[in-house]
C-alpha cells in the first residue's frame, strides 16, 4: 500500500526556476527519503532526513520535514534540464524499521 | 560489484509461462529488496531479505510469486503461470543494512511484458 502522496503529480518549469515538491504520509516514521527516477527505470537516492531533523541540504536540494503535519518538501533550486525526472518520497515507519514505502511520485519537467 | 545488477533487462513471455528474474546486489550489502512498478505508478513493495533472517514476504501479491536469496547474495524472483497483470518493471535494491539507517541502491530493473 502507498504510504506517501506527492503533490503536485506533475510540474513544469523553466531552467533557472526553483521546483518544490511536497509529500504527505500517514503513519509515524523513523525517516523519510527522496529518490529520483529517470526514464522509468532505476531510482537514485537523493537524501535521507530523520524524524528528529527538520531540514537538510545537499547541493541544490533542500528537504524539510514537519512530523506534526506528516509532511515533507523537496526544493530544487536553480533547476536544470537534467533535473527532468520523477521524484518519489519514501518512508520507513517507526514500528517497521525495515522497508521503505514509496509515494506516488511527482513528474518534473524542466524546459531549457 | 560497483552497483546492483539485474537481468534480464527486458523479458517478454507468454501468459501461463514461468519467469525468473535475477538480482545481484552490491557486495557486502546485507539487505535486499524487490519492488515492482506498473506503468506510471509508484513502487509496490514485494519482499525483503535481511542477512540470515526470515524474509518479509508481506508484499507478494499471490502464491504465484516467490523469491529466494542464496548465500546472502544473489536473489531470484520467480513468477509462476504469469498473467497479463504481472506486466511491470521489477526493481531490486540493496542497502548496507536495514532501511532505518540507509538509503537504497537500485538496479536498472527488469521490464516484464506478458502477452
Cβ burial of B20 (10 Å; 0-12, 13-18, 19+) is middle
Domain holding B37, by residue range, is 5-114
Q: What is the pLDDT of residues A21-68, one digit of tens each?
A: 999 999 889 899 999 999 767 899 999 999 999 999 999 999 999 999
Domain holding A22, by residue range, is 4-111
Structural domain total, chain B:
1
For A82, the 3-state DSSP assignment is helix
Q: Does A97 touch chain B (CB under 8 A)?
A: yes
Q: What is the pLDDT of residues A10-23, one digit of tens each?
A: 999 999 999 999 99
Q: Does B65 touch chain A (CB under 8 A)?
A: no
- Binned at pLDDT 50, 70 and 90, residue B101 comes out as confident
C-alpha cell at A74: 523537496
Cβ burial of A21 (10 Å; 0-12, 13-18, 19+) is buried
CATH of the domain at B85: 2.60.40.10
Q: Does A100 touch chain B (CB under 8 A)?
A: yes
Structural domain total, chain A:
1
Say if CB A32 and CB B87 are below 8 A apart: no
CATH of the domain at A27: 2.60.40.10
User: How much is the average pLDDT of B48-61?
Assistant: 90
- Residues of chain A with C-beta less than 8 angstroms from the C-beta of B42: 2, 88, 102-105
Amino acid at each position: 500500500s502507498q504510504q506517501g502522496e506527492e503533490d503536485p503529480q506533475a510540474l513544469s518549469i523553466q531552467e533557472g526556476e526553483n521546483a518544490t515538491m511536497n509529500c504527505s504520509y500517514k503513519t509515524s516514521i523513523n525517516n523519510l527519503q527522496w529518490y529520483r527516477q529517470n526514464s522509468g527505470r532505476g531510482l537514485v537516492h537523493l537524501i535521507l532526513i530523520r524524524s528528529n531533523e527538520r531540514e537538510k541540504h545537499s547541493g541544490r536540494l533542500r528537504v524539510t520535514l514537519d512530523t506534526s503535519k506528516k509532511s515533507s518538501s523537496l526544493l530544487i533550486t536553480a533547476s536544470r534540464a537534467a533535473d527532468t525526472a520523477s521524484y518519489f518520497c519514501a518512508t520507513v515507519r517507526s514500528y517497521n524499521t525495515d522497508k521503505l514505502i514509496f509515494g506516488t511520485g511527482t513528474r518534473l519537467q524542466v524546459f531549457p | 560489484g560497483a552497483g546492483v545488477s539485474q537481468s534480464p533487462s527486458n523479458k517478454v513471455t507468454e501468459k501461463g509461462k514461468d519467469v525468473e528474474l535475477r538480482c545481484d546486489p552490491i557486495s557486502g550489502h546485507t539487505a535486499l529488496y524487490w519492488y515492482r512498478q506498473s506503468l506510471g505508478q509508484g513502487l509496490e513493495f514485494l519482499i525483503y531479505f535481511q542477512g540470515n533472517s526470515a524474509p518479509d514476504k508481506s508484499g507478494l501479491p499471490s502464491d504465484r510469486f516467490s523469491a529466494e536469496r542464496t548465500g546472502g547474495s544473489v536473489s531470484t524472483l520467480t513468477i509462476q503461470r504469469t498473467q497479463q497483470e504481472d506486466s511491470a518493471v521489477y526493481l531490486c535494491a540493496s542497502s548496507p543494512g536495514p532501511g532505518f539507517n540507509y538509503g537504497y541502491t537500485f538496479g536498472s530493473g527488469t521490464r516484464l511484458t506478458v502477452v
